[in-house]
Amino acid sequence: MSLRIPVDTIRLAVPVLALSALLIAVFWLQPRAMSYLGLNLLFNLAVPIALATVAQMFILAVNDLDLSMGAFVSFAACVTATVLHSSPLLGALILAAAVAVYAAMGAIIHLRNLPSIVVTLGMSFVWTGIAVLLLPAPGGAAPAWVRSLMTAKPPLVPMAIVASVVIALVTHLILMRTSLGVLIRAVGGNQQSVARAGWSPLLAKAAAYALAGTFAVLAGIALVGLTTSADANIALRYTLLSIAGVILGGGEFVGGRVSPVGAVIGALTLALAGSFLSFLRISPDWQIGAQGAILVIVLALRLFLNKLERQERGG
């Protein structure tokens, strides 16, 4: 009984294990993937997914769920590929306004005690609608600085890995090391006690939504940097992927229990699942099926570990 592993470490261990197992399998199947170029190719598309997952994590931290994530990332991508490209100042203003809308959404959801699922469901129509107005047909162009940032080749470690580590670090600092982060997680834990302690749950919810909006905007910009064009449906899959990533990374639906590092690892795992299949020469038809299967396996593993932990405590 002297050695007790903290619960949070165990929660993080499962996604780390899942990602390592997948990586080892990929390297074993294709040793050439173990290179600068190979890693970059494997994880390139993971950067926008990781950003969207982190955005979803802020919403889940306050016990809400954002069903408009995919539509909003698509909207941000369309703005990036059109307005931000042609007139950067106006584009930046639009994206800032969109983040403000997210904050307002959080405030209204809190004030009127609305179900976040329905509000974000309605907003997903609005975002897609604006995106269709901006870009009726696929097209647009990536601003030069976005393109050069996403295709940069830092020494030793590929950009995709650097970006993932930076995202994980920044969100970890915000959520785990600042008083605002503590407040956000506390609202997820127990809203009443936050209010009784003299803090404002309203502020925390608005801040969580604003942070989610910010990271979702970054996801849209990063996506355009990789694809160099956009369309109104480019990221619709991100809604379900981002939820899956947070859960895969050890997050819970209620109680403000989320892990920023885990969320990024979860997103990387989901992105890697697709490449893994192509190395096995399995048809890419099964790509999203594999993502679902990995999710089930990781959740089963977590249940098993939780049970083990409870037994140890009891005995």
Partner 1 sequence: MSALASLTRKPWIWSFVAAGLVWLVTVLFTGGASALGLTLAALTFSSFAIIVGTGQMLVITLGPGNIDLSVPATMTLAGTLALKFMAVDNSLILPGLLVAIAIGLAVGSVNYGLIKLLRIPPIIATLCMSFIVQSTAIWSNRGLRIKPPPALAEFATSGPFGIANVALVALLITIIAWIFLERSIYGRWITSIGQSMAAARMAGVPVDGARFLTYVICAVLASIAGYLLASFSGGAALNMGAEYLLMSIAVVVIGGTSVAGGFSNVPGIWGASLFMFLVVSMLNTYGLGAGFRMIMTGIIIIAVILLASRRNTSLT
Among 34, 118, 169, 308, binds partner 1 (CB under 8 A): 118
What are the φ/ψ torsions at residue 158 (nearest 5 degrees)? -65, 155
In the complex with partner 1, which residue's Cβ is closer, 66 or 174? 66
256 forms beta bridges with none
Among 31, 122, 139, 154, binds partner 1 (CB under 8 A): 122
Min. distance of Cβ 25 from partner 1 in angstroms? 19
Specify the stretch interacting with partner 1 by CB under 8 A; choose among 45-53, 158-166, 187-195, 293-301: 293-301
Cα–Cα dist 257/99, whole Å: 24
285 near partner 1, judged by CB under 8 A: yes
311 near partner 1, judged by CB under 8 A: no
Among 12, 33, 104, 121, binds partner 1 (CB under 8 A): 121
Q: Which residues 124-183 are close enough to bind partner 1 by CB under 8 A? A: 124-133, 136
Q: Which residues 48-87 are close enough to bind partner 1 by CB under 8 A? A: 65, 67
Min. distance of Cβ 288 from partner 1 in angstroms? 5
12 near partner 1, judged by CB under 8 A: no
Annotate each residue in 16-55 with x if it binds partner 1 (CB under 8 A) or - if it does not, as one string: ----------------------------------------
Cα–Cα dist 279/288, whole Å: 15
Min. distance of Cβ 63 from partner 1 in angstroms? 10
- Residues near partner 1 (CB under 8 A): 65, 67, 112-115, 117-119, 121-133, 136, 236, 240, 243-244, 247, 253, 283, 285-293, 295-296, 299-300, 303
